[in-house]
A and B are shown apart, each in its own frame.
Chain A
């Protein structure tokens, strides 16, 4: 388990170092962007999208329900 954890940690750190080199940024830059921007922003954005979708779903279901009696009459 420790070996797996270490392997994952080395893999992730290698990714951070090499992506920093690929982008021409420093290790601190890429870490800052990921830790302070990407990691907090992604769940926030997804949460907002989920809330917006919930409202849309409710509206669609309500509009569908309002057509149901008409459908039955036909």
Chain B
């Protein structure tokens, strides 16, 4: 019984990030596209907007960069000074250099990274449960022993 419960706990904790990520992603996409456009089968042709990003930013490069440097909303990276942007450009160029940018993206960020991180997460959850069992075990045993 105890083993079944710990297996169920392991499964629940292991699946939690996947479910949470999917819920968050679906909510955001349905907020932006509408419920009927959550799953697209064709690439959307979008126009450029002054105040917000669209598929045009993905296809032809984002022109909203200046918004970060100045008000009203400052983004996380200052484009003029932050070296991370150079690294970002290098990462995108590396993905393009594979021949299929889309395929490389899918393999790396939808397969390799989630599987690797998921495996690590399962290890962490398993070890957490084992630590808990070890901590609770001797105490409960000694408590039952001390009972008259």
Chain B binding surface, main DSSP class: helix
- Contact code string B71-97 (vs A, CB < 8 Å = 1, else 0): 001011100000011011001100000
CB pair A8–B127 under 8 Å, yes or no, is no
Q: Determine the interface band of chain A, counting residues with CB < 8 A from chain B.
A: 35 or more
Cα of A57 to Cα of B121 in the assembled complex, Å:
17
Number of residues on chain B facing chain A (CB within 8 A): 55
Chain B residue at minimal CB-CB distance from A35: B91
CB pair B73–A14 under 8 Å, yes or no, is no
Contacts of A29 in B (CB 8 A): 68, 75-77
**Can you report 28 A-B residue pairs in the complex whose CB atoms are below 8 A from each other?**
A5-B103, A5-B106, A7-B40, A10-B43, A11-B29, A11-B38, A12-B110, A13-B58, A14-B29, A15-B25, A16-B58, A17-B53, A18-B31, A18-B33, A22-B32, A25-B75, A25-B76, A26-B68, A26-B75, A28-B85, A29-B68, A32-B77, A36-B87, A36-B91, A42-B117, A56-B131, A57-B130, A57-B134
Chain B: minimal CB distance from A63 (Å): 9
